[in-house]
Structures are given as C-alpha cells and as structure tokens.
Amino acid sequence: MASDTLDATFAALADPTRRAILARLAQGEATVMELAAPFAMSQPGVSKHLRVLERAGLISRGRDAQRRPCRLEATRLKTAMDWLADYRSYWEESYQRLDDLLGELEAGTSGAGEREVR
C-alpha cells in the first residue's frame, strides 16, 4: 500500500538480471557465487543487484559460514500483484468494449461528438 514500497518493488523488477535472479531463487536458496554464475558480470555487480532486491524486500539473506545464502521473499510480489489486480477489469473488458464499439458502428451511432469507449 505504501507508495515507497511499490516504487522500490517495481524498480527492482525493472531489470532483467534481477528478474532472472528471482527466477533462480524460486527454485531454492542460492549463494552469491551460484547466483552470479550464469551472468557475464562481476561478483560485485551481482552483489549490488542483490542489495537492490534486499532493500526492496524481495529477498532475504541468511548466514552459512562465509556464504550469505539468498532466499526469495514473495510477499512484496504479492503487493505488486495486488496493485495490478485493480486494473484487471480493464483488460478483461477489452473484448466487450470492442464488441460495443462494433455494435455502435453498425447501428450508425458513431460520430456523435466524442464517444468514450470505455
């Protein structure tokens, strides 16, 4: 609900590397090295992405000796999805709206000033 939370969440999701990291974590915990492996990127580069994800609350980190295993935290994803869900009717209605429009055109109702489709 907090605007800052949505800001940070959507911003974190707006990067393909970070989305790939989340996809990897969906399969289970992973260390920084494991997460970095698939990417042509330095380890500090990956660490910076992880910091972004952590500050957005999308991952959390444990401690296992020198390792800092990362784990997916899905509740912020739910928050983002809840925001998007408010718009669901707008894409679900699109077929209906198209039908309405086509109906009007056939009936010759078009041209009456400007007709808001939605």
Which residue's CB is nearer to DNA, number 42 or number 94?
Answer: 42
d(CA 111, CA 47): 58
Say whether residue 66 binds a copy of itself (CB under 8 A): no
Count of other CB atoms within 10 angstroms of residue 22: 19
| Strand, helix or coil for residue 93 | coil
Say whether residue 95 binds a copy of itself (CB under 8 A): no
| Strand, helix or coil for residue 18 | helix
Which residue's CB is nearer to DNA, number 16 or number 108?
Answer: 16
d(CA 53, CA 18): 7
Provide the strand spans (E) within 1-118.
Answer: 59-61, 70-72
Binding site for a copy of itself (CB under 8 A): 3, 6-11, 13-16, 19, 22, 26, 28-29, 60, 62-64, 71-75, 77-78, 80-81, 83-88, 90-91, 94, 114, 116-118
Binding site for DNA (CB under 7 A): 11, 14-15, 17, 31-34, 40-45, 47-52, 61, 65-69
